Structure 1
Amino acid sequence: MKLFAVIAVTWSFLLSVDGFGGTIDWELDQVSPYISNGTQISIQSRPYQVSLVIDFVNYCSGILLSDLFVLTAAHCIYGRKYAQVILGANNPNASIREPTLVSREALLLYPHDLYRPNSTRFDIGVVRFPSPVTFTDVIKPVTLPNMNDTSPSNYTGEIGIVSGWGYNEKSGPMAAHLRGVNVTVITNYECNASYSGVIRDEHLCASGRGAACIGDGGGPLIFNHTLIGLISWSDEACNMTAPTVFSRITYWRDWIYRFSGI
C-alpha cells in the first residue's frame, strides 16, 4: 500500500515522481494518484476543479472553495514554497492555451499543521490567492456539505464521481483531458480489510470500475453535486480492486470553515 504523492513534470513533459518514504502505522513508499479507467469529461461539468503546479514542476489537483481559496491534499503542498493554480481548462498542459484558462499564483500554502510526510492522516490543506478570481461558466466554487452533516457513516453505498488529469494507468502518461469515473462509497470497516486497520473516521473509501492515481491527488469525489471526498491515497499500483482513500469532507468541515471562512 502506498501514498499518492505529487507527480514531478515540466509544463509539458513528465520528469519524475516525487513521493514519500519511511513508516507511519505501516510501510509506505512512493506513489501518486490518477484516474484509472476513466472517461473524458468537460471542465464545464466540473468548474470547481483546478490544476496545481507546485514549485514550478509538480502537479496535483485542487477544488475551488471560493474566489480566494482552493482546497487540496496536504501531501501536495507540504514543505512547498510556490503554487500556480490553473482554472477553467480541460487540458491545463495543452500547447495551445484554451481561451477559458485562467492562471493565478498562490499567496499562501497551508497544509494541516499535523500532517507529516509518510502519514495517512491529516491530508488536507488550503491554497489562498492574493486577490479574488472572477467566476465564469467554467470557474465556479464547489458545493460543500452542511456544517452539521458530520456522520462518519454518511454516503455509504452511494455512487460518486472522482475526476482528474492524472495517469490512466501507473506507467502513464498524464491525461490530455480531464477524466472522471464512477465509484461506490464503502464502509470504513470494509476499507480496513484492504489497508490493515489504518482507516479512521477522517477517511472515506470508494471503489468501482476505476480509481485515482498519479497526478490526481487533491482532486474531488462528488456525490449529488456536493464535495464529499478529497483524493488522498490508494494501493501502490492504482489497482481498481483496492479502494481509493479520500479525506472525508464532513469530518473536516469545521477545519475548512476555520481556514477559509467557507
Structure 2
Amino acid sequence: MPQQLLVLFLSFQLTTNVGGYWGKIIGGHEVKPHSKPYIAYLEVQDVGLPFRCGGFLVREDFVVTAAHCNGHITVTLGAHDISKKEATQQKLQVESYYPHPEYNGFVLLNDILLLKLRKRAVLNENVTVIKLSKSNEDVPDGTKCVLAGWGSVTANGRRVPKKLQEVNITVLDWSKCKQIYNRHLTSDMMCAGYEEGACIGDSGSPLVCQDTVQGIVSFGRSPCANRTPTVFTQISKYTNWIHEIMAKKSDILYS
C-alpha cells in the first residue's frame, strides 16, 4: 500500500504491524458504553495482515473514514466491546468505496473515504448519525474536542483495547503545527493534542467538537502523542464533496 512508504516518518502504521492492528487513544479512558452511537469499527482485510480503523455514520447508508484505511472493509455499528457479539451491534458490508479523487497515499493528502453500505443501518439509541461541520468552517485553536476509537492505548502501539476509548483533546494553532510537520501539513488538515491523542488503530476515527465532527484521524509521529499533535483531515474542506457523493448515490428519498 502506498501509505506504508510513510511508516518511518509520519504514518500511524508500524513496520511490524503490531498484532495486525493500527491506531490508539493515548491519555484517555473507556467511554460510557454506547455514548458515541455514531462511531463505527472497521475491520480491514488487505494483502497483508488485517487491521482496524475507525469511522463514523453520516447517513443510514454512508460511513466516513480515512482513505488510507483501504482494503476490503466490514463495518460494525453499535459496538462497545468489539471482542463480543453484542446485541446492539450491526455488522454491515460495503457496497461501494469512494476515496477522494485527489487522494495521495504517499503524503496523505485528501485522506478521506466514503463507504456506501449494502444495507441501511437501523437507527436507534445505539446507532445514530453525526452532524458534519459546515463547509469551510474553521475550528479555532484552543477548542475542546473529543476523540474516540479502538486504537492502541500505549505509545508504542502494542496494546489494543477491546472496549471503546476516548480522550479530551485541544485543537492546536495551525501555524504551530506547521512548524512541527513542515511541508507535510496542508491547509486541508488540522491538528489537536500534544501529550494525548491518536495512535495505531485510530486512523479514520472522528474528532468531535460540540456534537459536530470536525476531523478524521490521518497521521502522526511514533511514539504516539509524545509531545507531537495528531493530524486530522479537516472535514469542513470536504463537506460539499461528501454531500455531492451521497446525493448521487442515494437510494433514500428525502422530503
> The TM-score by the shorter chain falls in which range?
0.7 to 0.9
Q: 1:164 aligns to what?
A: 149
CA contact (8 A) 2:65 2:205 kept: yes
What is the distance in 2 between the residues matched to 1:208 and 1:161? 14
What is the distance in 1 between the residues matched to 2:235 and 2:141? 14
Q: 1:230 aligns to what?
A: 216
What is the distance in 1 between the residues matched to 2:230 and 2:130? 21
Alignment of 1:55-134 (within 5 A): 55=45, 57-77=50-70, 80=71, 82-92=72-82, 94=83, 96-134=84-122
1:3 correspondence with 2:11 = yes
Q: Judging changes above 3 Å, is the alpha-carbon distance between structure 1 residues 180 and 7 closer, same or farther for their aligned structure 2 residues?
A: farther
CA contact (8 A) 2:148 2:207 kept: yes
CA contact (8 A) 1:6 1:59 kept: no
170, 174, 193: which is aligned to 1:184? Answer: 170
Q: Alignment RMSD, CA only?
A: 2.1
Shift of 1:8: 9.6
Q: Judging changes above 3 Å, is the alpha-carbon distance between structure 1 residues 113 and 103 closer, same or farther for their aligned structure 2 residues?
A: same
Q: 1:201 aligns to what?
A: 187
Amino acid at match of 1:66: R
What is the distance in 1 between the residues matched to 2:126 and 2:222? 33
CA contact (8 A) 2:76 2:92 kept: yes
What is the distance in 2 between the residues matched to 1:8 and 1:70? 28
Q: 2:27 aligns to what?
A: 37
Shift of 1:151: 4.1
Q: 1:216 aligns to what?
A: 202
Q: Judging changes above 3 Å, is the alpha-carbon distance between structure 1 residues 133 and 171 closer, same or farther for their aligned structure 2 residues?
A: closer
Cα shift readout 1:224-257 (whole Å, capped 9, x = no counterpart): 0110111100112113310100001111111111
Shift of 1:7: 10
What is the distance in 2 between the residues matched to 1:198 and 1:104? 34
Q: Judging changes above 3 Å, is the alpha-carbon distance between structure 1 residues 151 and 101 closer, same or farther for their aligned structure 2 residues?
A: closer
Shift >4 Å, 4+ stretches: 6-9
What's the secondary structure of 1:184's corresponding residue?
strand
Percent same amino acid at aligned positions? 26
What's the secondary structure of 2:200's corresponding residue?
coil
- Comparing 54-63 with 243-252, greater Cα deviation is found at 54-63
What is the distance in 1 between the residues matched to 2:69 and 2:16? 11
| Unaligned segments of structure 1, at least 5 residues | 18-31
CA contact (8 A) 2:11 2:220 kept: yes
What's the secondary structure of 1:71's corresponding residue?
strand
The structure in which a higher percent of residues are helix is 2
What's the secondary structure of 1:228's corresponding residue?
strand
CA contact (8 A) 1:8 1:59 kept: no
What's the secondary structure of 1:195's corresponding residue?
helix
Q: TM-score, normalised by structure 1?
A: 0.83
Q: Judging changes above 3 Å, is the alpha-carbon distance between structure 1 residues 218 and 206 closer, same or farther for their aligned structure 2 residues?
A: same
Shift of 1:36: 1.0
Shift of 1:114: 1.8
Instruction: State how many pairs are aligned.
Output: 236
- Comparing 112-121 with 162-171, greater Cα deviation is found at 112-121
What is the distance in 2 between the residues matched to 1:46 and 1:216? 15
